[in-house]
Amino acid sequence: MEFMRVLIVDDHEVVRKGVRSLLVRSGYDVCGEGVDGEDAIEKAKALRPDVIVMDVSMPKLNGLEATRRVRDLLPDAEVLILSQHDSPEMSRQAFSSGARGYVVKSSIAKDLLAAIEKVGRHEPFFDPALSSAARHDSHVDAQEVVQRSMALEQALRESEELYRATFDQAAVGMCHVSLEGIFLRVNSKLCDLLGYSQEEFLKLTFIPPRRMLFIFCGKKIKCL
Q: Domain-by-domain residue ranges, the chain?
A: 5-136, 172-223
Class of the domain covering 5-136? alpha beta
CA atoms within 13 A on the CB side of 30: 17
pLDDT at residue 222 greater than cutoff 50: no
Residue-level pLDDT at 220 = 44
State which amino acid sits at residue 141: D
CB 16 within 8 A of CB 50: no
pTM: 0.65
pLDDT at residue 135 greater than cutoff 50: no
Residue-level pLDDT at 134 = 45
User: Region 127-149: what's the mean pLDDT?
Assistant: 57
Residue-level pLDDT at 168 = 80
- Most confidently modeled of 126-130, 149-153, 187-191? 187-191
How far is residue 194's CA from residue 183's CA, in Å, rounded to a whole number? 14
Sign of torsion, CA 81 113 42 68?
negative
